[in-house]
Amino acid sequence: MNQNISDGQTILSNNSKFELGFFSPGNSKNRYLGIWFTNTSSQTVAWVANRQTPLIDNFGAVILDNQGNLSLVNGSGKVIWSSNSSASGTSINLVAQLLDTGNLVIKNGEKPNNEIWQSFDYPGDTFMEGMKLGKNFITGRETYLTSWRSADDPSPGEYTLRFSMVKGKYQQLYITSSAIETRIGPYNGISFSGRPLRTPETADPAFTSYMVVNQNEMYFATYSVKNTTMLLSRTIVTAGDTQNAVFSSNMSQLDCEAACKNNCSCTAYANPNISTGKAAGCLLWFGDLIDVRVYPQNGQDLYIRLAASELSAGATLLGLILGLYIRRKWKKNSDTEIAGKPKETLDEDYEGINRPMGSAEVSLFSLSTISKATNDFSVDNKLGEGGFGPVYKGVLEEGQEIAVKRLSKSSRQGLDEFENEVICIAKLQHRNLVKLLGYCLQGDEKMLIYEYMPNKSLDCFLFDESRKLKLDWQQRFCIIHGIARGLLYLHQDSRLKVVHRDLKAGNILLDNLMCPKISDFGLARMFKEDESEANTKRIVGTLGYISPEYAVNGLYSVKSDIFSFGVLVLEIVSGKKNRGFVHEDHDDNLLGHAWRLLTEGKPLNLIDECLGGSYSASEVLRSVHVGLLCAQQRVEDRPNTPTVLAMLGGEGSLPSPKKPAFFIQESEINSSSVLPLLTSSVNGITLSQVDGRS
């Protein structure tokens, strides 16, 4: 039986299934207005009005005013809860009514089925027949379940059960606290795929669930033969998380398969809706697959795309790897030996590395995808050109911006550097390292695909008289710290010890927040845990940044990167290049000039003039001091990476640096005939090969 609530009445209503009134939960003495099931052995509460504002005594009343607003007042007449509803137009017969479904509604008696307000729009921890869980895109209201704080306290607890209700995304239930605790799979038309598959024949006859998706709203609901209820506080557990998935309702299985194969970013696909007895629709996953579960029977098919998705590319890649392997075996006898053992680095046979690029932890992009993203490598999309070749900006179909390095046929950097970078950087993940998204290897085309850095490289700011004004001292000091943290990861904290070998301003990229990211790992080398240095006859890098032991003897280690970092720090402080530095009073390079100023007690004179007086003197002094310590002649005198970071952070006193390496200008080095330099430069990117005399 339904009872009406008239204006001004206090209430204690009931019907055949539910009761509405005041109650105290568990051992609490507080009182709440709620709805509970009738004919149950213990009181089971389905809905609470004043969850967060209880009555603290036995005085309270519920009032429906002539505007259609339902209020709960305490003994002092203060409103502690309100429906915040009002009727539009003229209303002379407003009533509050508890329906047999357990839904408390306020409606105009003159207009049947025209509810002004209903409790089902504000659920607690219980999901009942006729209630919607989802979102109304017109009003913006989202309905979801929230657990009680405890059995004695119905105020909202830490757990919620809600749908992923985003246009273009497939519907999925989540249980969350501060983060996602459980994903109850995507909806398959009958049930949620977080459980073994339920077909129309095996579905529970007690209730039927359904999903509504249109331009106005998205929601999940049930109707039943029996009474159905979901209690979040009492009942809380696939094809996988659909957060990174895209849904299309009008694609067949063949169309779905083709769509995934034609998009290199596609990870997997499935036909999610089985309500018609056969699979319908298309769900495409992009990125990692999360919470995929395997059931021994009654599972739902999920088609996962493997790395070797295209046989032609796979065959080309296999041939390339085989050719490189044979060539390296042939080269092995010419490698320099240390202690009678050939040195093994990344460009040689290193057992700790998965050699095939197909095994690297990055994606293989098709040429058509990259061509489309860059508008057929339009000159308008060209960002610049380096030793590797031109770099283009692109936008993938899903909207992600990318930077594409395309190997030039005339480039001196070839397959070694290309393969080296793919394998090396794929294993490295750090906020101060550029992220490699994938590569393209098709026909004569060889490309590397990176995350796009809107502010390009550090040298574009540092050595440009107009743009350097955008680099204040605080930004420069943060960039120094960021580069040091990236080096610490490479040298110590990553799974493999890495020596970059080409650290310079042009290889420091800046994101939209001017955060530095070390890039270009084509010349990088990996070390085994027990290795500290290596020897090579092929010296590569950039003049002005190469350490003396590497330039003269072909020896490189993490201390080679430390030397390059020291040069870079002094360049960031001064806004001047080390190579080609000119001063009217002497012929020293930037290192020599900084050393001269330090010994004369005037290190602050190194600061970039464009900064004026807006800098921290202590930070500048420490930066100059650390830069000179890193650029010392002897390897053993230079600090290691953890010490560098600690010194930059202001920890402890600093030792006095010794005279830096390459104190005088490069022209004097050439004339002394100590180091014959073979140099090539492509559009400002310099690669150097230095051979010591035999």
Report DSSP letters for 31-58, one per residue. Answer: BEEEEEESS-SS--EEEES-SSS-BSSS
Considering only residues 537 and 93, tell me which one the structure prediction assigns the higher pLDDT: 93
Q: Give me the pLDDT at residue 37, please.
A: 87
Q: Give me the pLDDT at residue 575, please.
A: 94
Q: Give me the pLDDT at residue 623, please.
A: 95
Report the range out of 69-73, 439-443, 625-629 with the highest average pLDDT: 625-629
Work out the pLDDT band at 647, boundaries 50, 70, 90.
Answer: very high
| Cα four-point dihedral sign 243, 248, 254, 257 | negative
Instruction: Say whether both 347 and 201 belong to one domain.
Output: no
Instruction: Say whether both 157 and 198 belong to one domain.
Output: yes
Which of 38-42, 66-70, 73-77 has the lowest average pLDDT? Answer: 38-42
Angle 673-676-677 from CA coordinates, rounded to 5°: 140
Instruction: Say whether both 416 and 551 belong to one domain.
Output: no
CATH number at residue 27: 2.90.10
Q: Give me the pLDDT at residue 290, please.
A: 61
d(C-alpha 621, C-alpha 638), whole Å: 18
Q: Give me the pLDDT at residue 306, please.
A: 66
Considering only residues 684 and 291, tell me which one the structure prediction assigns the higher pLDDT: 291
Instruction: Say whether both 583 and 463 belong to one domain.
Output: yes
Instruction: Say whether both 346 and 445 belong to one domain.
Output: yes
Asked whether 666 and 688 are in contact (CB, 8 A), the reply is no
Instruction: Say whether both 504 and 607 belong to one domain.
Output: yes
Could you give the residue ranges of the DSSP H alpha helices within 206-290?
A: 253-261
Which candidate, 287, 291, 289, 250, places its Cα nearest to that of 271? 250
pTM value is 0.49
Asked whether 72 and 81 are in contact (CB, 8 A), the reply is yes
Instruction: Please give the tally of structural domains in the chain.
Output: 4
Instruction: Say whether both 267 and 358 belong to one domain.
Output: no
d(C-alpha 172, C-alpha 185), whole Å: 6
Instruction: Say whether both 114 and 129 belong to one domain.
Output: no
As given in the structure block, the two tokens for residue 503 are 């650290």
* Residue labelled with tokens 């849904």: 247
> pLDDT for 366-416, tens place per residue?
999 999 999 999 999 998 887 678 999 999 988 999 999 998 776 655 666
Domain range for residue 430?
311-451
User: Who's near 369: CB < 8 A, 6+ residues apart?
Assistant: 263, 264, 396, 397, 440
As given in the structure block, the two tokens for residue 232 are 């979040």
> pLDDT for 291-346, tens place per residue?
565 555 455 677 877 654 344 454 444 455 445 544 554 444 434 333 333 333 33
Mean pLDDT of 68-84: 90
- Domain-ending residue, one of 268, 283, 305: 305
Instruction: Say whether both 372 and 447 belong to one domain.
Output: yes
Annotated catalytic residue within 241, 502, 561, 588: 502
As given in the structure block, the two tokens for residue 323 are 């050719």
CATH number at residue 346: 3.30.200.20
Instruction: Say whether both 105 and 1 belong to one domain.
Output: yes
Q: Give me the pLDDT at residue 247, please.
A: 65
- Domain-ending residue, one of 279, 305, 331: 305
- Domain-ending residue, one of 249, 282, 305: 305
> Pairing relation of β-strands 497-499 and 445-451?
unpaired
Q: Give me the pLDDT at residue 531, please.
A: 72
Instruction: Say whether both 430 and 472 belong to one domain.
Output: no
Transcribe 541-580 into DSSP letters.
Answer: S-TTT--HHHHHH-EEEHHHHHHHHHHHHHHHHHS--STT
Q: Give me the pLDDT at residue 226, please.
A: 45
Per-residue pLDDT at 527 exceeds 50: yes
Alpha-carbon separation of residue 674 from 293, 539, 553, 679, 690 (angstroms): 66, 16, 12, 15, 11
> pLDDT for 482-495, tens place per residue?
999 999 999 988 87
User: Who's near 650: CB < 8 A, 6+ residues apart?
Assistant: 618, 622
**Residue 57 catalytic?**
no
Work out the pLDDT band at 690, boundaries 50, 70, 90.
Answer: very low
Which candidate, 545, 510, 528, 373, places its Cα nearest to that of 447? 373
Instruction: Say whether both 656 and 578 belong to one domain.
Output: yes
CATH number at residue 466: 1.10.510.10
Asked whether 49 and 81 are in contact (CB, 8 A), the reply is yes
